Chains A and B, each alone.
Chain A
Amino acid sequence: MKNYLLTASLAAFIAATPAWSHYGMIIPSDPMISQEDGRSVGLTMSFSHPFELDGMMLDSPVAFSVTHEGSTTDLLSSLQDATVMEEQGYTLNYPLERPGTYIFSMEPQPYWEPAEDAFIIHYTKTYVTAYGDDEGWDTELGLKTEVVPLTKPFGLWEHNVFQGIIKLDGEPVPYAEVEVEFFNEGLAATAPDELMITQTVKADADGVFTYAPPAAGWWGFAALNTADYTITEEGSGEEKAVELGAVIWVHFEEWTGK
């Protein structure tokens, strides 16, 4: 009987624990910078549950870079400390010297998540186009894991579908699971059920997934896989699994027609 009560209690605790997904985030001030917008883009980096605006500590990333016209520039030392969703995050104002697509990418430090008994590493990126030139929108960075866009990752209307190929070590991941979550700025959106906070789609046999958002705004796509290595957890000294996330943030624009 005692065991039963303990189990029931544990089940209640687990049920009450939010099922929100973790997301690495790189959110630009604008995904499409025109010459009238100025000559730079602002970026905000964080680690959070984006629907609930629940921030988590983002330690100094392992890597942060921008890729443009085939050239990658290390920007790690340019990051500015910032408080994002009441937690440690970073900001950066990056000058856009030329037209084209700029891909900002971040590799965070492994995040120990006791609730999952695993480390989490989300390779996070977003695409920004400058001055009307979208060349490079389908660039693959060659990250450990990433979503390679099949749909141009900006200039999308709400309800448009977004498609991408999930890659791990450069290879498509058949039937990979992709979690989708809205950056709920202002907490304007509410979910009738917890299942509506993070939606899940699966890729097809070629690693291609498809999603159409119900509203304009920033949407995060996180393709999750388990790494083929482990990391030692300092507290216990045990080897723990590592969740690798390929995260891409895509902005959908509000439809202006009737």
Chain B
Amino acid sequence: MDRQVIRVLALASLVTTAPFGAAAHQLIVFASVDCEGVTVEAKFSNGRVVQKGEVRVFDGNNALQSTLELQSDGTANVPLDTVDHSGGLVIEVDTGGHDNYWIVTPEDIARKCGS
């Protein structure tokens, strides 16, 4: 599944499940990847770290793979061997009042660990 399809699925998911955040500050979600796992980071656009929130991990077919809580430093770790990442991943963070997502593409994973 290519990045465009993942993106469409992610956007469709967001449109159907979450309202757009209309607050003055936005939620910024980013995920970096290495061969071991995905490190999720969430902060608000004013620089404040998100202290509490739910992280949902979807595979390339938009199937929920994992749900976990953000740590108090605004990060979460998703071991790659616990999810099907062959078609990429959509990492969604929901703080209750804000939500946003980051798409980990198969190319992102391949670039970082050469697989």
Which A residues are closer than 8 A to B by beta carbons? 35-36, 39, 97-99, 131-135
A196 CB → nearest B CB, Å: 38
Is there contact, CB below 8 Å, between A39 and B108?
yes
Is there contact, CB below 8 Å, between B28 and A35?
no
Most buried by A among B28, B43, B100, B103: B28
B interface residues, how many (CB within 8 angstroms): 13
13 A-B residue pairs with CB within 8 Å: A35-B102, A36-B7, A97-B32, A98-B30, A99-B28, A99-B30, A131-B28, A131-B102, A132-B28, A133-B30, A133-B43, A134-B45, A135-B47
A37 CB → nearest B CB, Å: 11
Could you say which residues of chain B place their CB within 8 Å of the CB of A132? 26, 28, 45, 100
11 further contact pairs, Cβ within 8 A, besides A98-B30, A132-B28: A97-B32, A98-B32, A99-B28, A99-B30, A131-B102, A132-B45, A132-B100, A133-B43, A133-B45, A134-B45, A135-B47
Which B residues are closer than 8 A to A by beta carbons? 7, 26, 28, 30, 32, 43, 45, 47, 100, 102-103, 108, 111
Could you say which residues of chain A place their CB within 8 Å of the CB of B43? 133
Could you say which residues of chain B place their CB within 8 Å of the CB of A134? 45
Is there contact, CB below 8 Å, between B103 and A35?
yes
CA separation between A98 and B39, bound complex, in Å? 12
A contact patch SS: loop
CA separation between A97 and B47, bound complex, in Å? 18
B11 CB → nearest A CB, Å: 9
Could you say which residues of chain B place their CB within 8 Å of the CB of A135? 47
Could you say which residues of chain A place their CB within 8 Å of the CB of B26? 132
A39 CB → nearest B CB, Å: 7
CA separation between A206 and B104, bound complex, in Å? 46
CA separation between A97 and B43, bound complex, in Å? 17
CA separation between A225 and B32, bound complex, in Å? 44
Checking B30, B47, B108, B111 against A131 with a beta-carbon cut-off of 8 angstroms, the contacting residue is B30
Is there contact, CB below 8 Å, between A133 and B108?
no
CA separation between A78 and B28, bound complex, in Å? 30
CA separation between A99 and B26, bound complex, in Å? 14
Could you say which residues of chain B place their CB within 8 Å of the CB of A35? 102-103
Could you say which residues of chain B place their CB within 8 Å of the CB of A131? 28, 30, 102
CA separation between A134 and B103, bound complex, in Å? 19
CA separation between A35 and B103, bound complex, in Å? 8
A246 CB → nearest B CB, Å: 27
Q: Closest chain B residue to A133 by CB distance?
A: B28
Could you say which residues of chain A place their CB within 8 Å of the CB of B32? 97-98
Could you say which residues of chain A place their CB within 8 Å of the CB of B28? 99, 131-133
For the complex of A and B, 4 pairs with smallest distance between CB atoms: A99-B30, A133-B28, A132-B28, A131-B30
CA separation between A78 and B87, bound complex, in Å? 32
Could you say which residues of chain A place their CB within 8 Å of the CB of B111? 39
B8 CB → nearest A CB, Å: 11
B26 CB → nearest A CB, Å: 7
Q: Closest chain B residue to A36 by CB distance?
A: B7
A69 CB → nearest B CB, Å: 12
Most buried by A among B7, B30, B43, B45: B30
